[in-house]
Amino acid sequence: MDNQVVQCLHHSKLMLMHAENQEWEEFIELHPVWEDEIGKCFVGITPQEDAEALASILVELIADVDKIQGLIKSRMSEIENNFSRVIQQQKAMNSYLK
C-alpha cells in the first residue's frame, strides 16, 4: 500500500476530528494540504496493487468526507442563524432608538 494513500486517510481523520471538535481554524489549515494529497495519492496506483486495502481506504475516505460535509453544513446553518439573530437585534435597537 502506498504511503501517500495512508497519509491521505490520516489527514482525513485529523480533519474529521477537528470538524467534530469545532476546531475550524485547524480544519482550514489542513484542508489545502489534504486536497493536494488527494489529488496526488491515487495517481499511478494500479488496480491490482492491494486492491482490497485500497477499496477499504476509499470507503473510509468517502465516509469521512460525508461526515465532514454534514458538520460543515451544520456549522454554516449555525452561523446563518447567529447572523440572522444579530440583524434582528440591530433592527430592534434601531426601532427603539428612533
The CA distance from 35 to 8, in Å, is 9
Query: Which residue has cell 491521505?
Result: 8
User: What is the number of domains present in the chain?
Assistant: 1
Mean pLDDT, residues 1-21 taken together? 88
| Nearest CA-CA partner of 5 in 46, 41, 31, 45 | 41
CATH of the domain at 68: 1.20.58.380
Q: Which amino acid is at 17?
A: M
pTM of this prediction? 0.77
The CA distance from 19 to 68, in Å, is 7
Residue 47: predicted pLDDT = 63
pLDDT tens, residue by residue, 34-85 = 888 888 877 766 666 677 878 888 899 999 999 999 999 999 999 999 999 9
Mean pLDDT, residues 2-23 taken together? 90
Mean pLDDT, residues 16-34 taken together? 94
79: domain range? 3-97
Contacting residues for 42 by C-beta, under 8 A, at least 6 apart = 5
Residue 55: predicted pLDDT = 84
Q: Are 15 and 31 in contact (CB under 8 A)?
A: yes
Residue 85: predicted pLDDT = 93
Give the ranges where 1-98 is alpha helix by DSSP (H). 3-20, 24-41, 51-97
pLDDT at position 95 over 60: yes
Angle formed by the axes of helices 51-97 and 3-20, to 10°?
Answer: 30
Residue 48: predicted pLDDT = 67
